[in-house]
Amino acid sequence: MQRVLIMTNSLKIFITCSCATFIVFFAWRPKFNVLIKQQNRTMVKIQSSDAHKGVDNKNKKDIWHIESSRFPIGVDISLAAEQVKKIWKRSDAKYICYDCQKVCGGWGDRMAGIASSFMWALMTNRKYVIQQNFPCALTTVYKPNLVNWASDLPNGLTTKHITLIDNHKFMPNKIKNPSTHIDGRYPYDIISFRVNQDWIEGFQNPIYEKRLTQLGFNTSELKMDNVFPKLHSLLFKLQDSIQKRLNNFIVNAKTRFNTLLICAQIRMGVNPSIPHDVGPPRNKLEFLSVVWEFLSQFNNSDQHRIFITTDSEDVRQTAKRLFPNTIVDTEGIITHVDRTPNRSQACQGMQKVSLDFHIQTYCDVLMISRSNFGEYGAHLRNSKEGVYGFFNGTIVKGYPPYIIRSQ
């Protein structure tokens, strides 16, 4: 066994090596101490098979860029994984289906609907299937991890289709408050939900406490930001082509051990890039000066890289102009998976959407605006550290879901 201590002005690295293990612990000292407080870190290690997968041969020597990233923070899904195996071994198990074969919301809305309906499946010992072909199959970007959600539903079973898009009353009325279990009130063989809402807190109902414990969920912290990383990990692995693009992005962005990735998710709403968006504008152009000022403190290519994910090509190009030496970008046109009329174009754009979504999980500083896309990216990152909310021209330090909902 060998132990090596490497020290620089901004970084301490402790490395423990043996023939079987490679563990890295970080203690960062960022110069911008106003933004990130020094604290103990939990090392995150991507499984080597995933970290190396698809990375260009010329970059394999630089895999440490990926393996040493502080984020996303890992999750323990062992108890839930065991329960999933038991469910799929049952020949008599019923089904929950997430249905997205027409309008069902943007990427963040879909993550909410998938997480909520999957949680229902886990709570009722049902198999879980995703049927999404709008604008195209979810399997273009994801493949099953521990749950075979891409399987077909059997024929000849009793089926109930329930549409709950933007329905805020279903969770409190049907999950959180009733004194009877949902399994008894919804006996159908297949329940198909088209939903874009967060139901997680509804399962704090004492009726479900025993099952939550079996699944390894902390009943006192049963909120989407705590649960989503586990649910997502049980369900999904990126398709190899997307994983390759993600790995190569991180390798190119984190050029040194102490390079920090600074990210801003800027949702504008209706704009020339997404002319068919609906609802009031999410942000105004005059608000963006606050974002550029925030990012300008990181405009040092020796220490930082800046990444912008946005629904506006104008915002994207402005960022490139303002930060030409620090900006890193992902190729592809800007689309909305639900509101880009050309389905072929929307399907192509879904690859960039999924890539940008996962890049957020690697950000050392993540600023998000009022959008489920940014909020669920922050959930999957699995840490409140270094997260900021941008709303009504103001940037606030803290975990955005609670900041934004209180405005």
Confidence of residue 405 (pLDDT cuts 50, 70, 90): very low
Q: How far apart are CA 374 and CA 385, in angstroms?
A: 15
Average confidence (pLDDT) over 120-127: 98
Mean pLDDT of 155-182: 97
Percent of the chain at pLDDT > 70 equals 81
pLDDT band at 362 (very low <50, low <70, confident <90, very high): very high
Give me the pLDDT at residue 399, please. Answer: 61
Q: What is the mean pLDDT of the chain?
A: 85
Whether 366 shows a pLDDT value over 70: the answer reads yes
Lowest-pLDDT choice from 107-111, 126-130, 254-258? 254-258
Domain(s) labelled CATH 3.40.50.11350 in the chain stretch across 240-405
Q: Do β-strands 365-369 and 387-391 pair in parallel, antiparallel, or remain unpaired? A: parallel
Is a pLDDT exceeding 80 seen at residue 193? yes
Q: 240-405: which CATH topology?
A: Rossmann fold (3.40.50)
The pLDDT, as a whole number, for residue 64 is 52
pLDDT tens-place string over residues 60-96 = 545 555 666 788 999 999 999 999 999 999 999 999 9
| Residue 71, pLDDT score | 87
pLDDT digits (tens, 9 = 90+) for 21-35: 333 333 333 333 333
pLDDT at 67 (0 to 100): 62
pLDDT in the model for residue 66: 61
